[in-house]
Amino acid sequence: MTTELDPLIHVPTRLKIVATLAALPDGDALSFTRLQDMLGLTPGNLIVQLRKLEDAGYIGSTKTRNGSAQKTTVALTGKGRAALGAYTQALRDLLGGLDRDGRPAEADRDHVAFRAGTADAPGAQDGDGAAASPGHGGIGHPSGQAIR
């Protein structure tokens, strides 16, 4: 059994973001401010994490303007739902292969591998709240000011 945890999701803040968005019905979107409120994150931190997820195609964002106010909504994409499904399955497989002390069971000990933390994985080098990935144009501050 080879168990891989997607490093893009296997970060506490991003895991909470993806889990929260996945609780919405497929196709529904959540406003940036509600998401921020639910997760208790600062706007800057949330933007950084959302941008990483958007770079990977896990979430999509839409900006709408109503007069001077701009509203940003984010939604989990099909790819994001599939990634969370695979991540959840990997967790199930992994926890099924752990003994009571949390160590890999004997049979699985040599086969447990994680993509998390490997250099080639997207976003693997970035920690929670790390700087934004360059070259992205999606998520901006809800006030309308683009954050890069």
Chain contacts with another protein (rule: CB under 8 A): 5, 7, 10-13, 15-16, 19-20, 22-31, 33-35, 37-38, 73, 75, 88, 91-92, 94-95, 98, 101-104, 112-114, 116-117, 124-125, 127-128
Q: How far, in Å, CA of 58 to CA of 123, rounded?
A: 13
Identity of the residue, 116 or 147, whose beta carbon is nearer to another protein in the bound complex? 116
Rg (CA), the chain: 17
CB neighbours of 37 closer than 8 A, spacing ≥ 6?
A: none
Contact 7, 122 (CB under 8 A): yes
Contact 25, 76 (CB under 8 A): no
Identity of the residue, 115 or 136, whose beta carbon is nearer to another protein in the bound complex? 115
Using DSSP's 3-state secondary structure scheme, residue 41 falls into coil
Q: How far, in Å, CA of 72 to CA of 63, rounded?
A: 4
In the complex, the smallest distance separating the C-beta of residue 137 from another protein, rounded to whole angstroms, is 22
End-to-end CA separation in angstroms for the chain: 41
Identity of the residue, 26 or 44, whose beta carbon is nearer to another protein in the bound complex? 26
In the complex, the smallest distance separating the C-beta of residue 50 from another protein, rounded to whole angstroms, is 14
Identity of the residue, 2 or 148, whose beta carbon is nearer to another protein in the bound complex? 2
In the complex, the smallest distance separating the C-beta of residue 136 from another protein, rounded to whole angstroms, is 20
Contact 114, 97 (CB under 8 A): no
Identity of the residue, 37 or 148, whose beta carbon is nearer to another protein in the bound complex? 37
In the complex, the smallest distance separating the C-beta of residue 19 from another protein, rounded to whole angstroms, is 4
In the complex, the smallest distance separating the C-beta of residue 146 from another protein, rounded to whole angstroms, is 21
